Structure 1
Amino acid sequence: MNKRLYSKKKSDAVSGYLFLLPALLAFLLFIGAPMVITIVLSFFDYNMLQGSEWINFDNYIEFFKNPTSWQIIWNTFKLTLILVALHIVIALLLAFVIYKEKRGPVKYVYRTAVYLPSILTTASVAIAWYYMFNYDFGVFNWLLSQLGISGVKWLTSSSGVIVAICLFSLWKFVGTPFLYYLIGLQGIPDGYYEAAQIDGANKIQTFFHITLPMLTPTLFFVITITTINTFQIFDEPYIITNGGPGNASRTLALHVYEKAFKAYEMGYASSVSVVLFIIVLVITIILYSTQNKWVTYDVE
């Protein structure tokens, strides 16, 4: 009997690994192998036009010695902090308001309107927003002029470009965390709200003592995914501001692209990629290590 049970477990294990094999091979081919190659290249002075030379940690030393690198790192952190906060709060508010909407057709219209920008091509809408931010004939400065407010130099001032990128990113990508929140809200059992109503809890008390705690798994997922994605922000600064003015909106991902495909310094670009990977890895580990202190998984 034990041999038969052991044989069945072994057969199930083999079947499981066979099902995992395609995904594992895809991971090794498209993620694992490029990661190893990038780490190896980061120790080379590798120029696509001139060959390669082993230089140990010189690429990393050069990166951290350059004052511009620290500004680029700060730009990346600054955009991440602002955008993660905006996406978390505004997406939650939108999801909660639409979740409470009782009129079915109206709810579907609102839900579609919020999520639709997320499925549009970033490059195409970013070009449109680039013209909307124009100082002389952009729609944003025209709206400000109608209110008697002088125009803002959205794309030519160090503070304006950060605001421009955040506005565009919020409009473009808030639909994704919004959808996660909406699904999370729909998964909260109605019994909790009925019990709170019987106990006389008002709407604010219900939100902070029932809705928010029950939504913490979704909130944790949104924070993690949004943080990882925002640290790799590329499209917005590349298309809208091109990293300018100066280096005011240049991010690590944009810096990697410029060094790799404009300057052809693959070794240096690889070292910057490794730095970005380590930063994202450390932040992710910190988020996962703190989840047990505030995330509620037990809904019984």
Structure 2
Amino acid sequence: MAAEKSAKAKAWTLFDRIVDRAAPEGVHTNPWVKDASGKRHFQPDYDTLSLLLGVPLFLKANTQSGVPALALDVWLSYELRRAGFGKDQTWPRPTHPRILPSSVANLLEELTAKEAGPVRAKVERKSAIKGVTASSASILGKNYTKQVDVIITDWSTGPELLISTKRMDSSFGKNAPNRIEESYGDAKNLRLRHPLAALGFMFGLNAVILREEPGTAEWLFDLLIKLGQEDDAYHATGLVLMEYGDDAVLPDDGEEPAVEALAEPGVEAEEDSAPVVDAVGDIDLTIANLPKVRLRLDATPDELMPSRFLAAMVERVLGITPVTMHRGARRHRAEARQL
């Protein structure tokens, strides 16, 4: 367990630096663009995604560590901030603590510098404060709680966006049916309690499946597409096809990290959610030498493109809220640049 915590802490150090370089001083590029016909499209930052996906390969972090899937969570949250949502609105946040309820963030903003100093120091220093800050959170569905990986929520609105991520790097024939079955059940559970929330599912998949198990790939793509078309399942599903060299293969433990289905809803404390600043030496040099990850967008079905997925998630959130809410995201969308 200690090794897993160390891997996640090191990963956060690299993830944070990659995201910080992509958005200097918290200033993000606008992902929205318009084509010649005036239609808006979401243009993801795939370069940043490739770097983030190289982190678990560099650390040789297995699936049980949670680091491989965490790379997708960090990227999706980053893309939502590019879309104009605030840094405290989208979880995981770009700095520790990864989950900070808006009520706490607002309190810190309202306090004087003298009052806020000790409170902010404690929030930022401690790995987690039970019931207040954490690195993950569970949402109550119709029948059971579910850990959700990327979230926009507030006590005054309830969940507005819930994205679950899964990643599969090997043992495709054995793991794929289980992942799909779990995902469909999770979608039904969350959708029935939170019908208005934007509900999404992003699947990270080693592109070696295209060569080693093309039949499984075809079957899996078809089911992922159908998951995003059911009236009572996800509003959108997405696929990240990753290709990297044989010398950068993740350790194969064949399993996802265990999640306690009967856990209490709310934030979940983890001791390894804070980055370890000196854990990886020269951070920029390490990032420059991360294993290269190629995104196989050419082999990704149109219905599962990350660009389509992110556009659907943002449009869903904005479409079900008053125009007085999420003004930053609405402004970014309105200011789409011409291609």
Using the size of structure 1 for normalisation, the TM-score is 0.28
| Larger radius of gyration between Structure 1 and Structure 2 | 1
TM-score by length of 2: 0.25
Structure with greater helix percent: 1
